[in-house]
Amino acid sequence: MIPAVAPAPTFAQRGFTLIELAIVLFIVALLLGGMLLPLSAQQDIRARQETDKLLAETRDALLGYVVVNGRLPCPDTDADGAENGSSGACTAQEGDFPYQTVGTTQADGWGYRLRYRVSSAFSGTIALTSAGDVSVITRGDDPTTGGSTEAKKENALATAPAVILSVGKNGYGGTPRGGGTVSSPTAGTDEALNNSGAKKVSRSPMPITSGCADNEVEGTPLCEFDDQLVWLSANTIFNRLVAAGKL
- DSSP label at residue 17: -
CB burial class (10 A; 0-12, 13-18, 19+) of residue 190? buried
Q: What span, in angstroms and rounded, lies between the C-alpha atoms of 178 and 68?
A: 31
Name the one range near Ca ion by CB under 5 A: 6-14, 52-60, 197-205, 224-232.
Answer: 224-232
Minimal distance, residue 237 CB to Ca ion, in Å = 23
Among the listed residues 227, 230, 234, 237, the single contact to Ca ion using CB under 5 A: 227
Cβ contact 224:209 at 8 Å = yes
Closer of 215 and 233 to Ca ion (Cβ): 215
Minimal distance, residue 130 CB to Ca ion, in Å = 24
Cβ contact 167:230 at 8 Å = no
Name the one range near Ca ion by CB under 5 A: 2-10, 19-27, 134-142, 203-211.
Answer: 134-142
Q: What span, in angstroms and rounded, lies between the C-alpha atoms of 243 and 247?
A: 8
Q: What span, in angstroms and rounded, lies between the C-alpha atoms of 223 and 208?
A: 7
Minimal distance, residue 141 CB to Ca ion, in Å = 5
Binding mask 149-178 for Ca ion (x = CB under 5 A): ------------------xx-x-x------
Among the listed residues 20, 80, 216, 218, the single contact to Ca ion using CB under 5 A: 80
- Which residues within the stretch 87-126 sit at the binding site for Ca ion (CB under 5 A)? none
Q: How are beta strands 162-166 and 115-118 bridged, if at all?
A: antiparallel
Cβ contact 194:165 at 8 Å = yes
Site membership for Ca ion, residue 145 (CB under 5 A): yes
Among the listed residues 48, 76, 88, 117, the single contact to Ca ion using CB under 5 A: 76
Cβ contact 31:23 at 8 Å = no
Q: Which residues bind Ca ion (CB under 5 A)?
A: 76, 78, 80, 82, 84, 141-142, 145, 167-168, 170, 172, 191, 226-227
